[in-house]
Amino acid sequence: MMRRLAARALLFVLLLAAAAPDDGPRGIAVAADTVATWRLEPSDFVRYARCSVSPPAKDSKDGKEVLGAPEIATIHGFDLRDDGEYAPVVLLREDLPQLFAFRLAETTDRDFRITGIVPFKVRGSIEPMGTRVGPDGAVRKFHATYTFASGGVADKGDSHRIRDGRAEADLEFDPAEGVVARARVRLSYVLDKVERDRGDKPQTVAGSSDFARVTLKRCRYDEFQADVDQAIDRGVAHLRTLQKDDGTFAPYGGYPIGSTALGAYTLASCGASLADPQLERALAQLLTTTPEKTYDRAVALMAFERAYTPEGERDLTTDDGARALRRDLPPDRRAWCERVAAAIEKSGPQLGSWGYPTPGRVTPNTDSSNTQYAALGLHAASRMNIPVAEATWLGLIRHFEMHHEKDGPKGQVSILEEGHAIPRTGGYVPTPVDVQAVAGFNYSVREPRVWGSMTCAGIGSIAIARHELLRMKAKSFGMKDQAAAEQLILGGWAWLDRHWGVDRHPLHPGGEWYYYWLYALERAGILTNVLRVGNRDWYFDGAMEILARQKEDGSWDERGGNEHTTETCFALLFLKRATAPITGK
């Protein structure tokens, strides 16, 4: 019997392969009579309305289960592993229902890793439950049963282990679309501390979740640009309502002019000209200040450079560094920018490194966030033909050499650069490039952990410094130095490839600064001319998350924001692909 089933499964797969075009969707067989053809490419995604399921109320007359308020659960193609199994790179406890709702492997015997949880093994099976025909075609139904328990060795930082876990899932798979249409998951497990204190008791976790598909989008679908343009228009309209009559935007924390500079930069990047009264009022306000902090200084220079960029130049796809850029600033505004640029160069406690001012310290701490913004500000100054010292750019590369992971393993990464056509089906992965160290970048020596935004900070800043050094034909930046800089950039992309996620800030300890992360990703992608990493379209992936999170009034927000201003600006800058492209290899 088993041999006949195996033969039938093999025959079906061969027939499927023969019938499908070479560039068509990939097919995988779950079993001879229950076939699931997954059609999600890495940058495709499907969204589900996920609801908690409660048993019928005691006074219920109809005995129906109660569904909680729906939350959006997004399954990206890059989240799929092992013939359709959902397994994100960073698996969290709240992802467990998704893990079991979208797993369509015939058998299960896999190890998984959850942040803070001892590695655990999943075992189980999936069996067909018949087929029903609906208006969209056949929908195959399955029932899956899983057991799971911690089985690995606790790492440093693991605080809990899972035991006595069980999940049951009823799945409806839509072969016409190639995705799960609905799923109901019943989940229970015991969560136990690795090191118990007296009185600690294991925690029993149980619950049911319902998933219903609400939308499916293919990478760069036909209406994608129109949807992005509409979101930008709504976002800009909201941003304009946040500006005060004097031209300022609400300050963020201890940065009195940073938000005003960021608002001006965003308006100019989204098409506002110098004739726009709101942009002009913001720029005029900047001129009345003497910025003292790196962020304020840097974004102010970015705002002036973008506002005075000739309209035709904004459409150029690259800046090869061979021509002088024209920026016709009035003398008083140019002098102000020159003073601000000089202040940035002089303020670094170490050449090419910047940090927060630390009263009383002879050598203030430096960090990669302040340093990346200094790079952006000085790059804007250079584009306004304000000279920046060669030693500053060399020091900036040294900063990120000192702040990347030192024990990253050798590896490979596939990069598809801008200018290549994107296949609509089948995908395309270029030849992998060897990487000496798969290594991200950290925030500072005091915070050695690596996360997404700081890795993008390293990639983008090194790309800027390399471009500027090549533009000025620096003799101190020879072929070996260029090759080393390229390896740092590739190592950063390889790290992002392994820790990919646009629905969260990868490996950030608190998960905050989501829009800051996406804007950093936008800069890294454009400054290194990257279209895809692996087979993932970073712009499409991030844009779709941003579109889904836009509020009714056109804004974006997150915990810790400042009246929507910063988050709305970062989201708009991503969608607009606001960073000016460069070359420099």
Residue-wise pLDDT for 421-468, tens only, equals: 665 555 566 778 999 999 999 999 888 889 999 999 999 999 999 999
Taking all residues of the chain, what is their mean pLDDT, rounded to a whole number? 85
Highest mean pLDDT among 90-94, 277-281, 362-366: 277-281
| Helical residues (DSSP H) of 171-324, grouped into ranges | 224-242, 258-269, 277-287, 294-307
Residue 423's pLDDT is 58
Residue 6's pLDDT is 37
Residue 361's pLDDT is 52
pLDDT digits (tens, 9 = 90+) for 337-358: 999 999 999 998 889 999 987 6
Predicted model pTM? 0.84
Is 104 a residue whose pLDDT tops 90? Answer: no
Chain length of the chain: 585
pLDDT mean over 19-40: 45
Q: Which residues contact 497 (CB under 8 A, 6 or more apart)?
A: 413, 414, 533, 534
CB count within 10 Å of CB 256 equals 15
Residue 575's pLDDT is 98
Is 131 a residue whose pLDDT tops 90? Answer: no
CB 159 within 8 A of CB 193: yes
> Distance of CA 352 to CAs 255, 348, 356, 358, 360, Å?
22, 7, 14, 17, 21
Share of the chain above pLDDT 70, in %: 85
Q: How confident is the model at residue 88 (pLDDT cuts 50, 70, 90)?
A: confident
Question: Token digits for 198?
Answer: 């007296």
pLDDT digits (tens, 9 = 90+) for 184-194: 999 999 999 98
Q: Is 261 exposed, middle or buried (0-12, 13-18, 19+ CB in 10 A)?
A: buried
Residue with tokens 């005003």: 260
Is 359 a residue whose pLDDT tops 60? Answer: no
Say which range, 147-161, 163-177, 257-271, has the weakest mean pLDDT: 147-161
Which amino acid is present at 264?
A
Three-state SS at 409? coil
pLDDT digits (tens, 9 = 90+) for 286-303: 999 999 999 999 999 999
Q: How confident is the model at residue 152 (pLDDT cuts 50, 70, 90)?
A: confident
* Domain coordinates in residue numbering, the chain: 2-57+65-217, 224-575
Residue 1's pLDDT is 37
Question: Token digits for 521?
Answer: 């990703």
Q: Which of 571, 531, 520, 525 is nearest to 550 (CA)?
A: 571
Is 46 a residue whose pLDDT tops 60? Answer: yes
pLDDT digits (tens, 9 = 90+) for 365-416: 899 999 999 999 999 999 999 999 999 999 999 999 999 998 899 999 999 8
User: Cα separation of 30 and 175, whole Å?
Assistant: 12
Which amino acid is present at 160?
H
- CATH code for residues 224-575: 1.50.10.10
Q: What is the DSSP string of 365-431?
A: --BHHHHHHHHHHHHHHHHTT----HHHHHHHHHHHHHTB-SSPPPEEE-EEETTS---SSS---PP
DSSP state of 534: T
Say which range, 43-47, 199-203, 313-317, 362-366, has the weakest mean pLDDT: 313-317
Residue 10's pLDDT is 31
